[in-house]
Structure 1
């Protein structure tokens, strides 16, 4: 099995979650996995066999306004690759991680070290399209030994915007069905819904793209029809405004702010419906994780969520501005227990069969094997 270096953003967010879970599963398959990041990824909660972490040291010099993380990361990648005989540097998020990996690879020349870049979304749809980053992002895609995208939507967007990447492989995000499971009753559910209310849930990094005011509006309208509460998980730049909006709407007694969490597998199963009305989602990992827990997603139709959500079957897809359509979907589920049960069962089945960790990890292993069989 290959020795693999993995770099990701270690804080909460879909790319960091996927990268960390990928590393953990690869280690169970016998790979030696070295995480290279500013600090320990939040999903690495305890010691695991074949897992190692190498923190990036950030020197401070008066001449620098801020420490040049990209260069420090490249140096750490170089050192780890040389000391531990890495076969692959697998970086998640093109900017700046692929830039660092490319520099490390060049410093090690001649070398058989391969660079794999996985595109997750905003590195292409937002960051990469910034004029100052556009040519660099395109260059790094072209110079990676292999590029993967987490959805067909993201691959097509990359090709459309940058004019490169036609040969990239789509390897979707995945869920561990042993970790994300339905639960019938829990103490957390009783605390969040003390009167037996239905629970709507939203989990994100609370950035503008997540369209959280629409979550609040859908809840406000649903609350007028049903005994329901809203659970908000996460933190981010929009959170302060959402707290203010909740107070202004007089909803504070029925909205629970749980803050950031590294145990989403314990929180998701208590919900009845997940709300994810993002302006766009390259994939929408939290919706897939919710489905594995038997929670019905009402998600954005813009982006890649439609690659695993079948509207009206295992969840609902609505345009991010279609508040009425989202409320109608919520009404349909909360007002029809038989429909809710059937959709929850279909959601769990589809998420775990088609996007279970075992089959997706196999795709990554096949990618690595193909790269390493053509060394030279």
Structure 2
């Protein structure tokens, strides 16, 4: 079949959507498709040397007439330029706002009838969708798309309930790079971080926003340390970090909680971890949960959003009610102290990744969509 030229619009950050968009681009490039990333900076994990991947930077000029630089307009302009200069067959945008809106405008500017696939990742619906001032804009971006996908059944339902679009929404799950996220030897990382041989390790990875509910993780960990020796790895940065540090100090956990900052050795960090805690109040999918399962780390996670579509309660981890610290502590101790149960969850986690979320099957689903949209 014809190899396609695909324009990709995403956030070039370490967030889940940017990672998935880039990994998908890499795998599509490996299949021979030309992938053109139109973003404000080079995406994380972008393979600059790959002959089938190109980066088109969105530059924003500052003008005194604007209080804030108009990124969405600059993006639309760059999309129009790349549609024309590269002869794109379709656009794949990640997030309805602003990316799908900018794609619609860029198409018009280029006088093109190019098809647009919009993938919803969560924030554009579960946060912006609650804002009456933005809901219509999100709906506009979705309705202007040719095909819309969501990363979980939960997000699909939230979109229908909150946004009420006139487009069908198809569910295509997230995936991970199975070559990166595997059980591995982490070398001296454990001792480098000051973790003793007999200590259990609980890990949390996020962007430290309020929605991640990290205080409940710290409080749960505090209770767990009353029963067994453990360390808590908090991996990431974000606006809630200072509040978390304050709570750690109040609970006198300074010697037991390790703030690693942003890291690019996630699989090694997971290799030295026993359990992941992920107690979010909202989560469209929870990519880190899938990464953890692939590395042999079960999770204690909340019953919100798409999390139960990744973590099956009592099979590859435990699901607890949001805000219920006692339940999180109970399940965490059960998993950390029962070696037979732990081994079972670990095996089941590998099965979940292979059978439900393997990249090959999910990339094939996207490729079918690409040909469907390019043929319209």
TM-score range (shorter-chain normalised) is over 0.9
Query: Is residue 2:373 matched to residue 1:371?
Result: yes
1:251-277 per-position Cα deviation (integer Å, ceiling 9, x unaligned): 010111111123323322221111100
CA contact (8 A) 1:159 1:166 kept: no
- Label 1:157 to 1:344 Cα distance change in 2 as closer, same or farther (>3 A): same
Query: Is residue 2:76 matched to residue 1:44?
Result: no
Secondary structure of residue in 2 paired with 1:298: strand
Secondary structure of residue in 1 paired with 2:218: helix
Distance 1:330 1:231 in 2: 15
Query: 1:263-274 residue pairs with structure 2 within 5 A?
Result: 263-274=265-276
Q: 1:225 aligns with which of 224, 227, 234?
A: 227
Q: Which residue of 1 aligns with 2:250?
A: 248
Shift of 1:185: 5.4
Distance 1:4 1:128 in 2: 28
Shift of 1:237: 0.6
Runs of 4+ in 1 over 4 A off after TM superposition: none
1:62-121 per-position Cα deviation (integer Å, ceiling 9, x unaligned): 111111000000111111111111111111111111111000111122x34111110000
CA contact (8 A) 1:159 1:165 kept: no
Q: Which residue of 1 aligns with 2:139?
A: 138
Q: Which residue of 2 aligns with 1:356?
A: 358
> Alignment length, in residue pairs?
373
Query: Is residue 2:301 matched to residue 1:299?
Result: yes
Secondary structure of residue in 2 paired with 1:96: helix
Q: 2:343 aligns with which of 341, 345, 355?
A: 341
Distance 1:101 1:266 in 2: 38
Distance 1:184 1:58 in 2: 44
Distance 1:165 1:234 in 2: 38
**More off after superposition, 40-49 vs 65-74:** 40-49
Shift of 1:49: 3.1
Q: Which residue of 1 aligns with 2:240?
A: 238
Secondary structure of residue in 2 paired with 1:39: coil
Distance 2:227 2:167 in 1: 48
Distance 1:334 1:319 in 2: 19
- Label 1:71 to 1:185 Cα distance change in 2 as closer, same or farther (>3 A): closer
- Label 1:262 to 1:47 Cα distance change in 2 as closer, same or farther (>3 A): farther
Secondary structure of residue in 1 paired with 2:50: coil
Q: Which residue of 1 aligns with 2:180?
A: 179
CA RMSD of aligned residues (A): 1.4
Distance 2:209 2:96 in 1: 20
Secondary structure of residue in 1 paired with 2:38: strand
Gap regions ≥5 residues in structure 2: none
Q: Which residue of 2 aligns with 1:204?
A: 206
1:147-205 per-position Cα deviation (integer Å, ceiling 9, x unaligned): 00000000011011122256211001012222100135532123332333111000001
Query: Is residue 2:93 matched to residue 1:91?
Result: yes
Shift of 1:372: 2.0
Task: Give TM-score scaled by structure 2 length.
Answer: 0.96
Secondary structure of residue in 1 paired with 2:180: coil
**More off after superposition, 170-179 vs 262-271:** 262-271
Shift of 1:46: 5.1
Distance 1:179 1:124 in 2: 30
Gap regions ≥5 residues in structure 1: none
Distance 2:115 2:167 in 1: 19
Q: Which residue of 1 aligns with 2:126?
A: 125
**More off after superposition, 66-75 vs 190-199:** 190-199
Secondary structure of residue in 2 paired with 1:287: helix
CA contact (8 A) 1:232 1:255 kept: yes
Q: Which residue of 2 aligns with 1:56?
A: 58
